[in-house]
Amino acid sequence: QKEVEQDPGPLSVPEGAIVSLNCTYSNSAFQYFMWYRQYSRKGPELLMYTYSSGNKEDGRFTAQVDKSSKYISLFIRDSQPSDSATYLCAMSEGGAQKLVFGQGTRLTINP
């Protein structure tokens, strides 16, 4: 079993819909939680960064971390076709520690 589990999808939704992406993990030592967006053949782009539990909002994006359930989520409001990409969750035990990635969810927003 992988340390971080993420449904690979693919996930296809109409433009304007609210998208919910999530990951579960098994390592209770994880403290830093990130969401990356990756377009085809490009590097992962950091979208959201959260330390420990709680919510964080940035524009149309909201990240939630529930350490008690070992569950993290990313919500995208008013989804746009330009949001079509692979979304990777990632987490680490400490500030300079390596990131462990989920498998990535391929998302398509249909106009």
Binding stretches for another protein (CB under 8 A) = 32, 34, 36, 41-46, 49, 51, 88, 90, 92, 94-104
Phi, psi of 62 (to 5 degrees): -130, 130
Token couple for 41: 């053949």
Residue number, 42 or 77, with CB nearest to another protein: 42
The DSSP secondary-structure symbol of 25 reads: E
We find the least distance from the C-beta atom of residue 66 to another protein, in angstroms, to be: 19
We find the least distance from the C-beta atom of residue 79 to another protein, in angstroms, to be: 23
Residue number, 51 or 71, with CB nearest to another protein: 51
46: left (phi over 0), alpha (psi -120 to 50) or beta: beta
Residue 28 CB partners (closer than 8 Å, separation 6+): 67, 70
Residue number, 28 or 97, with CB nearest to another protein: 97
We find the least distance from the C-beta atom of residue 30 to another protein, in angstroms, to be: 11
